Amino acid sequence: MKLYSYFRSSASYRVRIALALKGLPYEYAAVHLVKGGGQQLSSVYRSVNPDSLVPTLEDGPHVLTQSLAIVEYLNELHPEPPLLPSDAVDRAYVRSVALQVACEIHPVNNLRVLQYLKNSLGVTEEQKTEWYRHWVDVGFGALESRLEDERRVGEFVCGGTPTLADICLVPQVWNARRFNIPLDDYPTVVCLADNAMKLEAFKMAQPANQPDAE
Amino acid sequence: MKLYSYFRSSASYRVRIALALKGLPYEYAAVHLVKGGGQQLSSVYRSVNPDSLVPTLEDGPHVLTQSLAIVEYLNELHPEPPLLPSDAVDRAYVRSVALQVACEIHPVNNLRVLQYLKNSLGVTEEQKTEWYRHWVDVGFGALESRLEDERRVGEFVCGGTPTLADICLVPQVWNARRFNIPLDDYPTVVCLADNAMKLEAFKMAQPANQPDAE
């Protein structure tokens, strides 16, 4: 398998965690999202993935995009260890936590959105930082109220093993720290992310440990 | 089952389509996202869903959130007709198209994001419209280049039956039309959405046919 990835991309980070948890080897193809105006926009990369987004996973002849779809695919083809619980209601819970990160927080604070705010709307650095912080606060606030009383929460979002939910949570917390967002109001969210970050697979997948890390 | 829904919400619309395709009856609980500053922010609704987002599906004692997680749940519990293909690679394709809408287009043009642009960043109506249009163009542009050459495309996104991908595509096209976004550059996207809209289940689920339609 070959993973097109950018070390700092949350979505790439998710897939790297899943691959590491499954113990699957892969070739790392770096796509720099900033250098030269963004290598994801090059015709070479667009011929792989016309969306100009990372990650893309090549598995033999198959080209897979969208991190959550890739993780579900990896989980279906390589069931051990499972990244989703065996019960349908628990699965819906895990997927919904993952989607709360992937649909409510991450897209609004994506690099291209921040670039649009700056370049097309001319917002100040301060307004851009406030925007970022606002959506993390809205998203983590909602997650915290949900998870603090959730009976399924254990060492991880759903019990004692990491799932798709932890795979999405960790990169978002890593990102928030990178932008120096205060996280004191989200103790459950932070504790869960820190628990997962202690695992070897999560360590291997983190941005600093990628070949293209700066 | 009880669905908390707003007639215009794309995410609610997705779940309504899935329920209609499965032929599942449900009670409709309207949550008005604009009236009175937004009923989703009321303490009554927050006690159901602390995220203050629609939809929420109550299935007996279970409270389910996030439209894509709900659709996967419905599909697991009520397998007929299937909303995902039987092959893992095709499933990844369908999920990735669904996520291209749910993660790349919809969140950035969500009501609360448009409200933030207006109220906190003070952008003009024109800039807000241009923002909306920009992200539809980016998202539909990427979808169009992907789908126009995709061998799996048939009457629907994946062959001859509607899937999770069509469930996400239709509300986004409906929304773009509501905002008068020109769609001439996306003939495949529009054709697929129009094919799906002809089905009775998609008609039943559309905003105009909801009890809270204005």
For A149-193, the DSSP string reads T-TT-SSBTTBTS--HHHHHHHHHHHHHHHTT---TT-HHHHHHH
> Mean pLDDT over residues B10-21, rounded?
98
The minimum CA-CA distance between A110 and chain B, rounded to whole Å, is 10
Q: Using CA atoms, how far apart are residues B137 and B135, in angstroms rounded to an integer?
A: 5
Q: Are residues A110 and A183 in the same domain?
A: yes
- Helix-then-strand count for chain B, H and E: 9, 4
The average confidence (pLDDT) of chain B is 95
On chain A, the residues whose CB falls within 8 A of the CB of B52 are 142
Beta bridge partners of B62: B59
Q: Using CA atoms, how far apart are residues A8 and A179, in angstroms rounded to an integer?
A: 12
Q: Do the Cβ atoms of B116 and A131 come within 8 Å?
A: yes
Q: For strands B62-65 and B56-59, give the pairing.
A: antiparallel
**Residue B186: per-residue pLDDT:** 98
> Mean pLDDT over residues A183-202, rounded?
98
Beta bridge partners of B57: B3, B64
Cβ atoms within 10 Å of B187's Cβ, excluding its own: 12
pLDDT confidence of B46, banded at 50, 70, 90?
confident
Q: For strands A56-59 and B2-5, give the pairing.
A: unpaired
Cβ burial, residue B132 (10 Å; 0-12/13-18/19+): buried
**A38 DSSP 8-state letter:** -
* Domain contains B206: no
Q: Do the Cβ atoms of B123 and A127 come within 8 Å?
A: no
Q: Using CA atoms, how far apart are residues B108 and B140, in angstroms rounded to an integer?
A: 13
What residue type is A62 in one-letter code?
Answer: H
The shortest CB-CB distance from B104 to any of A95, A99, A107 is to A107
**Residue A7: per-residue pLDDT:** 96
Residues A42-66: tens digit of each pLDDT: 888 888 887 888 999 999 999 999 9
pLDDT higher than 80, residue A37: no
Report the side by side order of strands in the sheet with B62-65. Answer: B27-30, B2-5, B56-59, B62-65
Identify the domain boundary among A81, A106, A129: A81
Pick the more confident residue, B37 or B145.
B145
Q: Are residues A176 and A158 in the same domain?
A: yes
Q: Do the Cβ atoms of B103 and A66 come within 8 Å?
A: yes
> Mean pLDDT over residues A9-30, rounded?
97
**Residue A23: per-residue pLDDT:** 98
Q: Do the Cβ atoms of A88 and B70 come within 8 Å?
A: no
Contact yes or no for A157/A192 (Cβ under 8 A): yes
Q: Are residues A112 and A174 in the same domain?
A: yes
Q: Are residues A97 and A195 in the same domain?
A: yes
Q: Percentage of chain B with pLDDT > 70?
A: 100
Residues B179-202: tens digit of each pLDDT: 999 999 999 999 999 999 999 999
How far CA B128 is from CA of A27, A76, A123, B56, B106, in Å, comes to 42, 41, 14, 28, 15
* ipTM of this complex: 0.96
pLDDT confidence of B45, banded at 50, 70, 90?
confident
Q: Are residues B71 and B163 in the same domain?
A: no
**Angle at which helices B164-178 and B10-22 pack, to 10 degrees?**
140
> How many domains does chain A contain in total?
2
**Residue A96: per-residue pLDDT:** 98
pLDDT higher than 80, residue B37: no
**Residue A17: per-residue pLDDT:** 98
* Domain contains A206: no
Q: Using CA atoms, how far apart are residues A192 and A194, in angstroms rounded to an integer?
A: 5
- Four-point Cα dihedral B126, B115, A169, A112, nearest 10: 10
> Mean pLDDT over residues B91-110, rounded?
95
Residue A111: domain span: 88-201
Residues A173-188: tens digit of each pLDDT: 999 999 999 999 999 9
Residues A108-162: tens digit of each pLDDT: 998 889 999 999 999 999 999 999 999 999 999 999 999 999 999 999 999 999 9
Please name the residues between 14 and 73 in chain B that touch chain A, using a CB distance below 8 Å.
50-53, 62, 64-66, 68-70, 72-73
On chain B, the residues whose CB falls within 8 A of the CB of A65 are 96, 100
* Domain contains A75: yes
pLDDT higher than 90, residue B43: no
Q: For strands B2-5 and A62-65, give the pairing.
A: unpaired
Is the bond preceding B81 in cis, omega lying within 30 degrees of 0? yes
**Residue B172: per-residue pLDDT:** 97
Q: Are residues B119 and B195 in the same domain?
A: yes
**Residue B184: per-residue pLDDT:** 98
**Residue B40: per-residue pLDDT:** 81
* Domain contains B208: no
pLDDT higher than 90, residue A164: yes
**Residue A150: per-residue pLDDT:** 95
List the CATH number of the domain containing B13.
3.40.30.10
* 3 state SS of B65: strand
The minimum CA-CA distance between A214 and chain B, rounded to whole Å, is 27
Place of tokens 């009554």: B44
**Residue B80: per-residue pLDDT:** 97
The average confidence (pLDDT) of chain A is 95
For B116, name the nearest residue in chain A, comparing CA atoms only. Answer: A131
